[in-house]
Amino acid sequence: MTTPLKSRIITHIKNSGPLPLAEYMHWCMADPRDGYYANQEAIGAKGDFITAPEISQIFGEMIGIWAVETWEALGKPSSFNLVELGPGKGTLMLDLLRIGNAVPEFLNAAQVQMIETSEKLITTQKQTLAHHDNITWHKSLQEIPPQPTLVIANEFLDVLPIRQYVKTENQWREHAIGVDKKDNLVWTLGTGILDSDSLPQDASSQPDGAIFEISTIREAFIANTADLIKENKGAALFIDYGHGKTGFGDTVQAMRAHGFTGILEEPGLADLTSHVDFDALAKTANSAELQVSALVKQGEFLLAKGLIERAGQLGHQQSPEIQEQLTQQAERLALPDEMGNLFKVFEFGTVKNRD
């Protein structure tokens, strides 16, 4: 399928040669004119994919419990940043702030800082949070004022571009996108070669064609978050799908209308993501000398925070249909073969409230 972005990418490749995957992903997702987040509905039933906060209000509420516990561990600062990276429709923050009904001092102290690049989603977030004060929107972490800081992010890291390297006879060559004679986008090899220091030890035993992924931009977001927290005290909670140990394999996927599509098929119209290598990110947070908690599965995290109890409370004196709906939502978030195992919770900070 031809898309406006596809024509621009083809022209660029013809002029300048193959486009590395990371640049292709960045272009597809972030181009201000034809990119995915500038134009598409993205999240929800009418969009391309559904995220945990859109499945159940309990998800954001459980993160609210984490936020209050962490704020308490920090000594209940009377003013602090509550930062969310990539807040989507603003639903997680709306549900999180509900905890303010139970802990008003927390709500009074919270300066909510939303970091979002999509103008379209900023508009949606402002509508969702219209009844809350003390919310400011930013384009980057550098704009956050210096004071104790909690950072949360759900399904943010997976949208950031990655590089892929493909094993050839004796080198790991960058995976790139070229154009064939019929003007189709096709996979090819770029000029980049990965230094062996950046590869895991067992790289030499991988077969030809094996793929290794790196996301320097994810590492940069974690490093910036770690610096902010180290300077001001605080903690961060990143939830996303991915793995706890660096490995090999192609994890890039394209989604449109709740189904998978080809990565090169519909640039700008499909959501491009990949699995997060939490091992690599833990190394980044460790090198900032912060306390990094053991990676836990989303299911375990939510159960420990009180998912079942909250579902029971919400279902109390409701119809059997509503109770059934709440059960299904909780199962979707927490069961091992649903989101419970694939999604992981990555936490670091100057304090920690578990293990």
Residue 36 C-beta: closest distance to ligand SAH, Å: 9
What is the contact mask toward ligand SAH in residues 93 to 122, using x (rule: CB under 6 A)? ----------------------xxxx--x-
Contact call for residues 184 and 213 (beta carbons, < 8 A): no
Query: How far apart, in whole angstroms, are the C-alpha atoms of residue 171 and residue 190?
Result: 12
The rounded distance, in Å, linking the Cα atoms of 208 and 167 is 5
The residue from 87, 148, 234, 349 that contacts ligand SAH (CB under 6 A) is 87
Q: Which residue in 31, 34, 61, 155 binds ligand SAH (CB under 6 A)?
A: 155
Asked whether the CA dihedral 322, 326, 329, 335 is positive or negative, the reply is negative
For residue 71, which phi and psi values (nearest 5 degrees)? -60, -40
Give the contacts of 341 (CB within 8 A, at least 6 positions apart).
297, 298, 299
**What Rg, from alpha-carbon coordinates, does the chain have?**
21
Q: Which is nearer to ligand SAH, 18 or 90 (CB)?
A: 90
DSSP β-bridge partners for residue 186: 178
Minimum distance of ligand SAH from residue 51's CB (angstroms): 3
Q: How far is the CB of 225 from ligand SAH (least distance, A)?
A: 12
**Other Cβ atoms closer than 10 A to 192:** 15
Q: How far apart are CA 150 and CA 344, in angstroms?
A: 18
Q: Does 234 bind ligand SAH (CB under 6 A)?
A: no
242 part of the interface to ligand SAH, by CB under 6 A: no
Q: List CB contacts of 159: < 8 A, sequence separation 6 or more.
A: 29, 86, 271, 272, 273
First to last CA, the chain: 50
Phi, psi of 106 (to 5 degrees): -65, -45
Q: Which stretch binds ligand SAH (CB under 6 A): 151-159, 169-177, 244-252, 303-311?
A: 151-159
- Tell me how far, at minimum, the Cβ of 114 lies from ligand SAH, in Å: 9
Contact code string over 251-290 relative to ligand SAH, x by CB under 6 A: ----------------------------------------
Options 151, 159, 269, 339; binder of ligand SAH; rule CB under 6 A? 159
Site string for ligand SAH, 30-69 (x = CB under 6 A): -------x-----x-------x-xx---------------
Answer whether 180's CB lies under 8 Å from 197's CB.
no
Pick the binder of ligand SAH from 27, 66, 156, 238 (CB under 6 A): 156
Give whichever of 37 and 348 is closer to ligand SAH, judged by the CB atom: 37
CB of 128 to ligand SAH, least distance (A): 11
Shortest separation between residue 76's beta carbon and ligand SAH, angstroms: 26
In whole angstroms, give the CA distance from residue 106 to residue 227.
24
Choose among 112, 114, 110, 111: nearest CA to 137. 114
By the rule CB under 6 A, 238 interacts with ligand SAH: no
Return the amino acid letter for 29.
Answer: M
**Site size for ligand SAH (CB under 6 A):** 19
Binding site for ligand SAH (CB under 6 A): 37, 43, 51, 53-54, 85-88, 92, 115-118, 121, 154-156, 159
